[in-house]
Chain A
Amino acid sequence: MPGMVKSDKPDLSVHVGPLALKNPILTASGTFGYGLEFEPFLRLDELAGFVTKGLSPLPREGNPPPRIVETPAGMLNTIGLQNIGIDAFIRDKLPRLREYDTAVIANVFGETEAEYVEVCQKLDQTDGVAAIELNVSCPNTEQGGMIFGNDATALSAITHASRKATRLPLIVKLSPNVTDIRVTARAAVEGGADILSLVNTFVGMQIDVQRRRPVLKKVCGGLSGPAIRPLAVWMTWQVHEAVDVPLIGMGGISSAADALEFILAGATAVQIGTANFVHPDGSIRVLRELQRWLADHDVATVRELVGAGHPKAPA
């Protein structure tokens, strides 16, 4: 509006439950390595934080290739949780990550409850980790992950066991591959989750018509990218109405408008995923665009937009 005083420096800080962030832009597990890979491309300090590649008790080599394929407005992956293991992460990555003013969120997964507990305990006993995100929803391993994420009872139990193993803020990352995501969301909260992040990838496949075979060696993979955004926004919207813990939304975000959809649906913060592959500084591009958008629309703090898309919310 002409003459209106614009707030040049909108307040981007948010509190995601016990997790205080300087802005709402995080990066998603599996798309940001261990953070340090991005040093040539951006200032890690500028990001609110990032989520590590999923960490298991022992290193894992992951699945045989082909592991990825582009699909309309997205991509399928079946990496299989290749990672360096929790001990190497604490020994080789964390010391350098501590030099940055950014929230390091460790994504954790195991094949058994004991493995989740082991990794959570190790993270609890080290400095430099801001929160733990439980991966109970990876579609790409035979045992780890999704079996916990699809069954409300198992999810509640694994969350409870992990909760007891650490004092760190606990995020549970929900699978979208369920009939009603509100059921698993409530189960995670009952198990002791401080925060829910949603969603992980959708299971899908592509067939090479010439070869008459699946493109991916493991047949199916997880779909990410702009293709899933409307599905993920809808799930964020539903879960916001179903539970009282704060949410971190993700699914195909590559612009401020995309991020704002999740925030208006009820997410306090968001994670950038596939967009990190397209441009290594994709997360920073979203952050700067969001800052401009808030200033241009005279929004003093991003917090006033959280859940503001719901009819019951004040307009």
Chain B
Amino acid sequence: MPRDITTALLANTDLGGGNWLLEFGAPEMASSMGPAQFFMIGIPGSATVLRRPYSVCGLPGTFEGRPDGAVQVLYKVIGRGTGLLAALAPGAPITVLGPLGNGFTPPDDPDTIPVLVAGGIGSAPFPALISTFRGNYTRPRMFYGAASASHLPLADWFSERTELETATDDGSAGVHGLVTEPLIRMLDGASHEKLKLYACGPGPMLEAVGKISLERELACELSLEAHMACGFGVCLGCVVPVHRPGDGIGYDRVCLEGPVMDATCLAW
């Protein structure tokens, strides 16, 4: 059940490259949410009208040494809303609605290898997801791409917990090119293993990963992003095209039917 609370920022840390990690206390939300679910976060009295959606990055236990009941949100300063958020100091009040939406679901069995594909700030939900795998699952494979090395803020954290390959548009880290290139190479050499793809990132990357999964008949969950006014299903602003029974195309809400959708559902 989502709640609408006012709480204080515990931390707001500049990770470089315009990426920030925000932390706030919300014990009841933290204990009832899962990876890729999200919050609508607002700043009381700010110049923005609408709150903004942010995926949960860290649940209690994801990042070591963090306070009980705290959750972390990774965000990148893009527009006015994220700019105002980055200017907040610890102690500042924020309003938080959540947890919202449907998150990632775990692989059906522990032998399945999770294959994580993240593009830039699309890396946000993966720490929470990886922390749910602890102990029970095969070590994930991860492919993490961005424009340049400075836009891979969680690369070190991921490299300790996954078999990580990075890719950058300018070649400043990892493969010089798209994140799907090392992904395809890995998939070509792994035809006998059980795999499940999880992806979050820019639209074209999600579309490419979705197509790869369909061609190879691999389970694939995509965490989508969209502008949304409400976050709880009523504004109908955040829709994406999906297949309907028969040949029809319809629109589902990223906030309510998503943000995680099965690659087979999307009509790109």
Contact = CB atoms under 8 A, between A and B. Distances in A.
Interface of A: 30-33, 37-38, 40-41, 61-62, 64-70, 73-75, 77, 79, 82, 225-226, 274, 276-281
Given A61-B249, A274-B229, A278-B42, A68 B235 contact: yes
Contacts of A64: 241, 251
Contacts, number: 87
B92 to A, nearest CB: 18
B95 A279 contact: yes
A281 B237 CA distance: 19
Contacts of A73: 49
Contact of B233 (A37, A66, A67, A77): A37
B241 A74 contact: no
B236 A226 contact: no
B74 interface: no
Most interface-central of B42, B49, B240, B250 (chain A CB within 10 A): B49
A280 B234 CA distance: 10
Given A31-B235, A79-B236, A82-B236, A281 B4 contact: yes
| Contact-residue bracket for chain B | 20 to 34
Nearest to B48: A70
Contacts of B233: 33, 37
Contacts of A278: 42, 49-51
B136 to A, nearest CB: 32
Contacts of B24: none
Nearest to B244: A61
Contact of A280 (B4, B42, B226): B4
A66 B50 CA distance: 16
A190 B42 CA distance: 45
B228 interface: yes
Nearest to B49: A225
B241 A75 contact: no
